[in-house]
Amino acid sequence: MSGQIIPNLSVDCVVFGFDSKDLNVLLVERTLTDKQNHSIIFSDYTLTGNHVQEGENPDDAAIRILNDLTGLHDIYLEQFHTFGRTDRLLKGKDQLWIHSLGLNIADHVITIGYYSLIDCTSVEITNHLSRNVKWFPVNDLPELAFDHVEILLKALERLQLKLKQEPIGFELLSEKFTLTQVQRLYEAILDTTFDPRNFRKKISMMKYVIPLDEKQTAVRHKPAQLYIFSRDVYERTRKEHYGFII
């Protein structure tokens, strides 16, 4: 790779995390400051993303960007949509921001959307390169730049669909989890509530959710049994019908 960006091609990553209560998204603060008096012209947030570099394919660009931001490797990552409206970058704030960067960015940039899933309770995201990076609940978002609301909603729509077809939700949980945590996760993503008895009955049909001879520790309530997700068992049994409709 030359390190030179492709002016009209970028990737944007929707990083989802779960904190045992809310489905969250990782956002990067974008602040434009007046160079003369250092006053803040505006401040909002963006998804994590950047331009693809010359000689780099988009998948590798997404991996690079996520690694730079989180320091993590082997993150669940899936390409879900391409966004190419000609007015994506034409809002006043966005034009000011682009101009301040002094980069050779085209007026019409096509971005490839990815979403990734991480357990945000076991990952410490540190501010990187003076950027303020924060988790926000997907149902309580700050102002977002560009068309990032549209990208986020499309990613959430894809996640909701995929969750009903494959057990990808376990990527958002710790290695060991309780059934209550699984239920809260599904309710947060699907924006609904489930009857606990029916939910546990559904979970019991999943051979790849394996009970452990362990219970929670250091909790104020009655310790619950712990479970793990076995990808090996899932791969061996994936031909069996999977669907998460309670």
pLDDT in the model for residue 224: 87
Q: What is the mean pLDDT of residues 163-174?
A: 93
**Model pTM greater than 0.85?**
yes
**128: its two tokens:** 């990187």
Nearest to 69 by CA among 30, 112, 147, 124: 124
DSSP-derived 3-state class of residue 121: coil
Strands 48-53 and 40-46: unpaired
Nearest to 30 by CA among 50, 14, 46, 51: 46
Residue 168 predicted with pLDDT over 70: yes
Q: Which domains does the chain have, with CATH numbers?
A: 5-163 (3.90.79.10), 174-237 (1.10.10.10)
pLDDT in tens, 116-146: 999 887 777 765 556 788 999 999 999 999 9
pLDDT in the model for residue 33: 92
Nearest to 185 by CA among 123, 94, 120, 134: 120
Q: What is the mean pLDDT of residues 87-100?
A: 93
Neighbours of 133 (CB within 10 A): 18
Residues 227/176, Cβ–Cβ less than 8 Å:
yes
